[in-house]
Amino acid sequence: MRRYRVGRRIAAIGTVALVAAALPVAANAQPEPTTEVRLIAFNDLHGNLEPPAGSSGKVTLPDGGTVDAGGAAFLATHVARLRAEKSNSLVLSAGDNIGASPVNSALFHDEPTVEFLNELGVAAAVVGNHEFDEGYAELQRVQSGGCHPADGCQFRDSYGGADFPYLGANVAFDDGRPALAPFSVERVGGVLIGIIGVTLEDLPAMVTPEAIKGLKFGDEVEAIDRTADLLDSAGVKAQVVLLHQGDNTEGGGPDDCRVPPGPATEIAANASPKVDLIFTGHSHQQYNCVVDDPAGNPRTVLQGGSYGRLLSVADLSVDRRTKDVVRPATKAHNEIVTRDVPPDPAAQKLIDEAAGKAKPIANRQVGTITADLLREPVPSGESALGDVLADAQLEATTGNGAQVAITNPGGIRTDLVHASSPEGEGDGVVTYGEAYAVQPFGNVMQTMTLTGAQLKNVLEQQWQPNATRILQVSSTLRYTYSASAPVGSKVSGITIAGKPVDPNAPYRVSVNNFLASGGDGFTEFAGGTEIAGGPMDLDALVGYLGAHAGLAPPPADRIAVAP
């Protein structure tokens, strides 16, 4: 695999003059009427260097079938072919490349993943919420290089940083100064492409407060409009947005657009008409849509799933006279990263290096299971793996007087599958690396006191304006909900250990520190009192697996659904 070293780019933050001076136009050029440019994007890789397992490693086809997909070595092969087909190509990312990663990347603070992105030739990436998992200072180290301040350089003797800029036009310090470069400009095929990076405004609800202390996240549309105007005034007319915000879908294949209106659609419908294309992320969905901009002109909006299973490909035609994209000529599709191609040798060498260094820890047996423990929910929203995690967290915090444990579904990153991995540990064996892949955040358990009324409020907060998030609960907590009931009155029949919950009585509830701070919109947890710390959520899971050999999927009987 060719290594695309581009050096440290400087994305202008200040004046238009700086942009113009940094991007001179070649003299005596005799351009063709248009230049064809291919943009190749992916999103939400989450350090999945090896092919992801279970449902995380499949792509749904238009006929409802699935195909195995993903794996960095296969992704690199597909990118190389797509580049070879169009000489004027750029590789971009819509965020969450790092964070919530499998053990072979996470053990080394995701340095192997950044090295892979460097080798892939990524030109620019927007920050997602997971780029902030370890805080702003760590993000700056990931960008600029240097050994980790606490753990040193464990993957290799040195770490040189990312060869591409992390963008965030709506990320600022509390005093208003930009915290990240808002855009990057690339010259490809003799034309200039402006790349604007914008992350989700409600990012603070996705991470712990300490991780983003001193930062604020502004309105996505306002940031896009402001940056698009700046680029336009500097003569950069062809513009694309990397947006770490996405919509959900109602199914379909990689290029379907069964997308109910959501935050990404709203942003796409209102953002500056000067932007010609929007790559989205965050929601881990696959879609290829066209949304009219405020001027009524169609604009492509697409997303490529997650974990490196799809590549979003957009072929643009740029008018050499106007310097702008001929938008009706845009062709876009989501390309499946199939595993029926030869793995890229250089990428595979990097992956093998990371796996080999992580192996002594990753392959240690921590438990056994009798069948797959899946994160996919049943109609009530309860999942077998969610039940196990909540039970593990309750058992790990009984010393704090915990009566109930509750965990967030977004914190469950993959399945625990019964079949042996390629490492050959055997069917039913759960390794530390597999457990880590399920709970990679390093969240700390906290046990708090909530009144029965507060607990009901927590459960009512599962229905939010833009999403429904059904919390996973321990076996001690049971309740019924009616999806058709008004918001705020959906939950009834709450019991703890078989006894009805008293609205005025105190109860000890264990959650991770992300939820305890009001994450995912569950602000009621922030009112908890008498907080006591516990183990990391991963340690709770590992301990539970070790104490319950031959663990079977629990029955999905904790949450009942009424009409």
The band of 27, judged by pLDDT with boundaries at 50, 70 and 90, is: very low
Radius of gyration (C-alpha) of the chain in whole angstroms: 24
| Residue 437, pLDDT above cutoff 80 | yes
| Ranges of CATH 3.90.780.10 domains, the chain | 364-562
Q: How far apart are CA 303 and CA 255, in angstroms?
A: 9
Quote the pLDDT of residue 208: 82
Quote the pLDDT of residue 491: 98
Q: Are 185 and 16 in contact (CB under 8 A)?
A: no
Q: How far apart are CA 432 and CA 417, in angstroms?
A: 13
Q: How far apart are CA 294 and CA 280, in angstroms?
A: 18
> At 243, is the secondary structure helix, strand, or coil?
strand
Read off the DSSP letter of residue 379: T
Quote the pLDDT of residue 31: 53
Task: Find the mean pLDDT for residues 95-109.
Answer: 93
The band of 20, judged by pLDDT with boundaries at 50, 70 and 90, is: very low
CA torsion sign, 151 to 156 to 159 to 162?
A: negative
Q: Which of 553, 543, 352, 550 is nearest to 432 (CA)?
A: 543
| Ranges of CATH 3.60.21.10 domains, the chain | 35-345
| Continuous segment of H or E residues that includes residue 75 | helix 72-85
Q: Which CATH number fits domain 364-562: 3.40.50.2020, 3.90.780.10, 3.40.190.10, 1.20.900.10?
A: 3.90.780.10
Task: Find the mean pLDDT for residues 488-501.
Answer: 98
List the CATH code of the domain at 35-345: 3.60.21.10
**Residue indicated by tokens 């992105």:** 117
Strand order in the sheet with 472-473: 472-473, 404-407, 506-512, 444-451, 529-536
Among 154-158, 204-208, 450-454, the minimum mean pLDDT is found in 204-208
Quote the pLDDT of residue 12: 40
pLDDT over 90 percentage in the chain: 85
Quote the pLDDT of residue 53: 82
Regarding beta strands 429-431 and 472-473, do their DSSP bridges make them parallel or antiparallel, or are they unpaired? unpaired
User: Which two structure tokens, joined as six digits, stand for 99?
Assistant: 């964070």
**CA 474 from chain center: how many Å?**
26
- According to DSSP, the residues that pair with 292 across neighbouring strands are 298
Task: Find the mean pLDDT for residues 149-168.
Answer: 96
CA distances in angstroms from 541 to 104, 122, 217, 322, 389, listed in the order given: 19, 36, 33, 58, 6
- Read off φ and ψ for residue 436, nearest 5 degrees: -60, -40
Quote the pLDDT of residue 205: 81
CA torsion sign, 169 to 522 to 96 to 543?
A: positive
| Residue 224, pLDDT above cutoff 80 | yes
| Residue 475, pLDDT above cutoff 80 | yes
Q: Which stretch, 15-19, 32-36, 402-406, has highest mean pLDDT?
A: 402-406
Based on the number of CB atoms within 10 Å of its own CB, is 216 exposed (0-12), middle (13-18) or buried (19 or more)? middle
- According to DSSP, the residues that pair with 407 across neighbouring strands are 472
Q: Give residues with Cβ within 8 angstroms of 537, minimum separation 6.
A: 389, 393, 407, 411, 439, 441, 442, 443, 444, 445, 512
- Read off φ and ψ for residue 332, nearest 5 degrees: -135, 150
| Continuous segment of H or E residues that includes residue 537 | helix 537-547
Quote the pLDDT of residue 21: 43
Q: Are 316 and 335 in contact (CB under 8 A)?
A: no
**Residue indicated by tokens 């009984």:** 398
Read off the DSSP letter of residue 380: T
CA distances in angstroms from 336 to 7, 34, 241, listed in the order given: 30, 29, 22
CA distances in angstroms from 392 to 279, 368, 388, 389, 501, listed in the order given: 38, 14, 6, 5, 22
| Residue 10, pLDDT above cutoff 70 | no
| Residue 91, pLDDT above cutoff 90 | yes
The band of 6, judged by pLDDT with boundaries at 50, 70 and 90, is: very low
pLDDT over 70 percentage in the chain: 94
> At 510, is the secondary structure helix, strand, or coil?
strand
Q: Give residues with Cβ within 8 angstroms of 293, minimum separation 6.
A: 268, 269, 271, 272, 273, 275, 299
| pLDDT tens profile 348-375 | 999 999 999 999 999 999 999 999 999 9
| pLDDT tens profile 39-84 | 999 999 999 999 998 888 999 999 999 999 999 999 999 999 999 9
| Residue 186, pLDDT above cutoff 80 | yes
Cα angle 123, 125, 130 (rounded to 5 degrees) comes to 150
Q: Which of 194, 269, 260 is nearest to 11 (CA)?
A: 194
CA distances in angstroms from 317 to 221, 329, 423, 465, listed in the order given: 25, 6, 46, 39
